[in-house]
Structure 1
Amino acid sequence: MNIVEWSDALLLDFEPMDGVHREFVDLLALAQSAPDATLPQAWAAVVDHTVEHFGREDDWMRKTRFSAAENHIIQHRVVLNVLREGLAMARAGQMDAVREMAGELAVWFAKHTQSLDAALALHMRREPAGGGAPRHARGGGTTAHAHL
């Protein structure tokens, strides 16, 4: 299985995204290492985080009229649908399938971050005041939320 791990290759030099991406990696790593008994809860935390994570990026793209928004938003929608299917599978006891999905998600996330998210981060850095990023999310701190 492909194990998710944070690396500097995932840094985009836009803290509102970098902080959320670190949190995503942490939550996915927890799900990947969770025993079967807690995998459904760990996967639910990944889903909950991702809904918020993708929603924030989708809002930025719409508000700033990002040129590649349509493709990026569609990719988010597809991945969220798959994650929700994974949650149903975890709750139905299909742990092996969810673990395989987690490995594939790790690979997808690295590629998505280094391509579509990198372009969005560059766009957002060029936007006045971070393109409408919440003031508390600009610069400095992360936007971590407790899900587990």
Structure 2
Amino acid sequence: MQASNWTPALWLGFEPMDAMNRDFMELLGCAQEATDDDLIEAWRALVAHATGHFGTEDGWMRSETFATIDQHAMEHRVVLNLLREGLVHAQAGDLAPARQMAGELGAWFSRHTQSLDAALALHMRRVNTASTTAD
């Protein structure tokens, strides 16, 4: 499997989100390329990052009363639960679920970034521009 990488197609023009997305893709790539001996640690790092990453986005959406928060936050919860489940399986010696998820997460993340994250990034750029010009 070829490791997932951040590409300019995932750039959203809102640096806090772009930085988190680059980090997610880097950690996903590490998990995809991890040896069996290293997979649990790589997966644990991905879960930890996703927890903070998704929590930050969910916080932005709550604070800004973002229109599509329900759908966006639901995707975060579902994926985070799956990531955690993959970690539990891996820690029990069954690496197959984490390996399968690692192979599928890149495509999901690309779709998620280019749709739901893109809308949030646009909103956050507008909010930040409005608050900067109001000062």
Q: Which segments of 5 or more consecutive residues in structure 2 lack a partner in the other structure?
A: none
Name the TM-score, length of structure 1 as normaliser. Answer: 0.84
Aligned residues: 131
Runs of 4+ in 1 over 2 A off after TM superposition: 128-131
Q: Is the 8 A contact 1:10 1:114 kept in 2?
A: yes
Q: Is the 8 A contact 1:2 1:106 kept in 2?
A: no
Q: What is the CA-CA distance between 1:23 and the residue it aligns to?
A: 0.6
The aligned counterpart of 1:118 is 118
Q: What is the CA-CA distance between 1:3 and the residue it aligns to?
A: 3.2
**Correspondence list, 1:64-143, <5 A:** 64-128=64-128
Q: Which has the higher contact order (CA 8 A, sep 6+)?
A: 1
1:120-142 C-alpha deviation (Å, 9 max, x unpaired): 000000103688xxxxxxxxxxx
Q: Is the 8 A contact 2:3 2:33 kept in 1?
A: no
Q: Name the structure where helix makes up a greater proportion of residues.
A: 2
Quote the sequence identity (%): 54
Q: Which segments of 5 or more consecutive residues in structure 1 lack a partner in the other structure?
A: 132-148
CA–CA distance in structure 2, aligned partners of residues 90 and 36 of structure 1: 9
CA–CA distance in structure 1, aligned partners of residues 93 and 13 of structure 2: 39
1:22 aligned partner, one-letter code: R
1:28-74 C-alpha deviation (Å, 9 max, x unpaired): 11111110011011100000000000000000000001100111001
Report the RMSD for the aligned CA atoms in angstroms. 1.5
Name the TM-score, length of structure 2 as normaliser. Answer: 0.92
Q: What is the CA-CA distance between 1:96 and the residue it aligns to?
A: 2.5
Distance 1:4 1:106, change over 3 A: same
